[in-house]
Amino acid sequence: MEDPPAGKERKGATDTKSVDKNEEEGCFRGLLEWLPCFRSYRGEKGEYFPLREVVMNAPFTTDSDLLYRHEFTSNYISTTRYTLWNFIFLNLFEQFQKAANFYFLIMAIITAIPGVSTIPLYATTTPLVFVLAVTAIKDGIDDYGRYRSDKEVNAREVDVVNPGGSTTKYKWEDLKVGHVVKVKKDEAFPADLVILASASANGECGIQTANLDGETNIKTRQALKETARMSVETLGKPGGIRILCERPHAGKEFEGRLLIGPGSDQSFSLNNDNVLLRGATLKETKYIYGVIIYTGEQTKVMIHNDPPRFKRSHMDVTMNKQMYLIFLLQFCIIFTATVLSGWFYTNRGDRHWYLGIDDTSTNEGTRQAIINFCAFYVLLSVMVPISLYVSMELVRVGQALLIGVDNRMYDPEDGKFCSARSTTLSEELGQIQYVFSDKTGTLTSNQMAFEKASINGRLYGTREEVKDLKVDKDPHPSRQKTNAFSPGRRAGDKETLLGPEGDEKFKIVSQDATINSERFSDAVVMDFDGDPRFCNMSDNSLRRALLDGDQSARDYVLALALCQTVTVNDDPNRPGRVTYQGESTDEVALVTAASMHGVRFVKKKRNEVTLVIPWETSPSESKEMKVMDMDRKESEHKRGGTRKISGSRVVFKILQILAFTSDRKRMSVIVQFPDGTIRVLTKGADNKIKAISSNDKSVNSKKLWEQTDAHLFQFSREGLRVMLVGQRKLTESEYRSWNAEYEAASKSFADEKGNRKQKMEKVAEKIEGNLQVLGVTAIEDKLQEGVPQTLRLLKKAGIRIWVLTGDKQNTAVNIGKSCGLIGWDYQLVYIRSKQAGACKEEMEGILQALSNAESESAALMVSGDSLKASLIPGNRDTLFSVMNHPKIRVVVASRMTPAQKRDIVTLVKEKLGVVTLAIGDGANDVSMIRAAHVGVGLRGKEGMQAANSSDFAISKFRFLSQLLLVHGTLSYSRNSTLILYFFYKNVMMAVQQIFFIFFSGYSSEEVFDGYMLNTFNLCWTALPILFFSVFDRPANVDELLEFPQLYLPGLRGEYFNFRTFWLSFVEAIVHGAIVWLVTWFTLHNIFDSYWASSVGTYTAVVIVANTKMTMITTTWFWFNALILFLTVLVYFMYIFLHCGPIGFEFSPWLFGVINQVMREPVFYLVLIFLSFGVFLQDFTVAYVKRIFCPSLLQLVQECRGDVALKQKLIVALNEGVDEFKNKWTQSDHEKKVKMVS
């Protein structure tokens, strides 16, 4: 089995390097070849892994075998971070990696040293323990939830097939590699399985992967036909089947081989289509049998179960930088106090007899100074607000909850609100400078509808849409009756194909086609399958071309119907009809278009596709390919003078499917037609199909290319998604030769020549060449509702928007223009060169042209191929200069791969240092979303991968304006105030201690009691600012959307930066100094009591801090007014209790102090004077700013209730915020607006 060589680690990887491939790789492979069942497997980084051999129904039974010898893990899973034994230690280790926590740990250690600090140990440990405990409880609750979920999953049961065919219930955690399990409909797969058989005769089953990637559409998986026919008894036979496959790895591809028979006489290739992943759910199939190949931590879902990358907001980064400056300032103060304390001890200590200083030597003074140095650090630790971190987390959680219940971001279609998946980035939403957006499914609705077609150079398609799908009454019934069939045509080939009575019908009369009254009625009416919303095109001339025998039209429509991976399901609303479902809505649109023009895809078996075709099939075709005439018989059904006859059911044999990949950008099917001919049908991106099309002029004429290119350009100009369709005819010998090579590649394993996928793609390229171009498909992807308005708001807010898409460049440009992203007066600048040197020259020329251009606005267009040349190290700086040129308003990058999207976002982040946001809806946007500072995922038709990888998940692009301009603006403003206020009150408190140090002979005595220090941040200044930071609203929602320029202060970082932080810091120092000087020199002189002055000063600091809170509050609710009142009221109750009999046990020195203080009228005068002083200072500053230098927010507030003035302000703002503010005068309202006239 998987017996590893001696010394090999359990994970199976080696560190083989590629320094000397001939020696090292050869030696490694040689070491493994002598072991049975081993082959070389090359991983993504060049490592080699031995293969895994799975023996069906012969699992290993001992733990030692499972975990060590065979390296098969248990199926037990655990997603918890902690265990019961390591929780305390691991959680504390994680928390002490935060600078503030570690800082206070050091302070607590210093306090615990006897004789160093006069502050009791509880004064420093209580805040630290509170912060650590709250965080630990939160982490513990989260982890316990994961533990309960794991326990429930591990205890689930599934049927395991025993030898003989009977089944036994096993818990998931007891399953082992090699077990054959029976999974029933709507049950989840307990491990990674290879499907062996199903309730369906052909071994097919439907699965839903919503738990893995969020996609709710049904995907098809299929058993090998050799195992699908096996009985349950055969499946239960131990050792009857063996599977060779890779060791567990993180790659998306699966490579394996299934061996049947004791001597492995039969070998069959296994790939992703044969694998059922743990967590997926069985749908539309009663049951399946599968053999387990990966268990527990080795399953794909667990390997990819990595936690999301932790993102820190710019506000956190800025705050940490200020913390370092505070540490420096703190050190300077402490160092000064330390030097002075040593000097005082040596030179003045013996003058103060009550200090008991006997030794005033220099050595003793130095020793005492060192002790004081540590004590001063403890005393001034209040300067660093440790509770700020907990408060920030609580506030962010509150803001995230408000985001999650915002009715303006509720989508009735999916019934979901915005989801804040990250609670650390709420204020980051208010600082976004660059938005990188996908196009398809993000700006557009991803509701694909077939719009137009170009077939053999001829354009088909009208703009008429099907509004009422009922048969229109023909005004000439007699003509319809006589012309229903052409002369000599059989009844089975009637032009009008009708369904059962009551079916929905449509009839569109082509306006430009010439109608032959001898052969056709005025309108060709046909049945259809599928949802008509996927096809806007209904062209009568195309139906007539099919019926008239136009071979190019027939080949084109057949290619649409056959080159696909769509599944069919019965339509519950239309008995006898089917609906289409596929992983790609583009394919559904193409198959629906074929159906609406007569070629209906009605059934799919293992390697067969059944179509209903409206033209006659020859007897030879019927004999050759089993033409099914049972539904082709005449079904006389009169309705309105029209005869109803079904078409011919024809079975096409699918020989191979060459799947679409992001690298190939095309898919192909090899089909055997009813006449025995074999064709390759290919569709894909126009540039890829052009590259592999035939250069033979007799196959693809010059005229054909001219017409096709013109239509491609026309379609892309209209914003339509385009693809080219082509075919190639093969001889049977060509196919057999190629198929043998392809089968060999499909059974191979990775080696130095590449992995299986690469080998298969190389072989596929050989058969896909020399294509005959059949035509072009044009699919419309409509803009989402509200996209133009949202983009306009974001642009007014100063946000730069870039579109990164995989679509054709012209399509992306025209979508950009239609949604208003690219102005019609913008100069379009293109980077087209694909070679590095030429690309750099082109970009330098663009820079020169932009400098000399008269236009002030330009849009840059770049394709993925050009971007490869632009992103090489020598060209990156030039590319960045072009992209960031002042005149470049928009960048549209087309034909982008996921890696290139990520590189663009990373380039802007690294070069500019700006705050970025990426938004997308598909799996190809995940890397871009993770690379940006803020990732927003749309719950779209491409699945939930983007939403699951994002920081915020929304359902519509238009919600982005509400998320940024409302929640982002408010969260940034609130959190900026929160940080400034926390430092303000803590610095004001620290100033009291600093003054006391200098007033007390540079001693290390504390100015306040330890309990008073602890309750200051936790009780008397906590709740008001928390409620403010969640609910304060300086501008209401409508104002924030009417005036998107209110977003600019956050974008520019005006509320929280170096300047605002240190202005607030200085203000706290000034207020703290005033409080100290006023209270100390009044109360101390009256009472001549140290603790009376201490309690009076502490009370003054609490009152001043809460007075400051009232001044910064802009929106008053009843609850925050009540909280503020109760905070002050409860404080006085506390201080009475603390200075009374209850507090005597803890702080006897405070007994009766508050009674003395409260009896003195001067105390009240001091509180009123200080409160009024703070109020007057803040009021004066705000008044002067509003009069002489008003902010835009203040101007908006002045317009409340005055509609006319508000409209004038909006008009004035169109000139630009800065210009407007410069013109704003200080007179009355009307004069303030007249400056724009």
Report the catalytic residues: 438
**What is the spatial distance between Cα 893 and Cα 508, in angstroms, rounded to a whole number?**
39
Written as six digits, the tokens of 1219 are 């210009």
Q: Is the dihedral of CA 578, 582, 587, 588 positive or negative?
A: positive
Q: What length does the chain have?
A: 1237
Cα separations (Å) of 1113 from 71, 744, 967, 1039, 1191? Answer: 63, 74, 18, 18, 17
Parallel, antiparallel, or unpaired for β 419-420 and 952-954?
antiparallel
Cα distances (Å, whole numbers) of residue 37 to 4, 52, 471, 1034, 1224: 11, 8, 66, 71, 83
Nearest one of 179, 161, 157, 181 to 169, comparing CA atoms: 157
Strands 266-270 and 180-184, sheet pairing: unpaired
Decide if 968 contacts 429 (C-beta within 8 A): yes
Angle of helix 99-112 relative to helix 362-379, nearest 10 degrees?
A: 130
Q: Give the integer Cα–Cα distance in Å for 269 and 872.
A: 40
CB atoms within 10 A of CB 709: 14
Give yes or no for a contact between 852 and 824, defined as CB atoms under 8 angstroms apart.
Answer: no
Burial class (CB in 10 A: 0-12, 13-18, 19+), 630: exposed
How far apart, in whole angstroms, are the C-alpha atoms of residue 1219 and residue 700? 60
Which residue shows structure tokens 């290619």?
Answer: 559
What's the token pair of residue 299?
């399953």
- In angstroms, rounded to a whole number, what is the distance separating the alpha carbons of residues 877 and 882? 9
Across-strand partners of 666?
Answer: 684
204-233 residues labelled b (16+ CB within 10 A) or e (exposed) = bbbbbbebbbbbebbbbbbbbeebbebebe
**Other residues' Cβ atoms within 10 Å of the Cβ of residue 465:** 14
Dihedral of CA 1230/1233/1236/1237: which sign? negative
Give the distance, in angstroms, between the CA of residue 178 and the centroid of all CA atoms in the same chain: 37
Cβ-in-10-Å burial (0-12, 13-18, 19+) of 459 comes to middle
Three-state secondary-structure class, residue 1059: helix
Task: For the chain, state the CA radius of gyration.
Answer: 38
Show Cβ contacts of residue 71 under 8 Å, excluding neighbours closer than 6 positions: 2, 4, 10, 12, 247
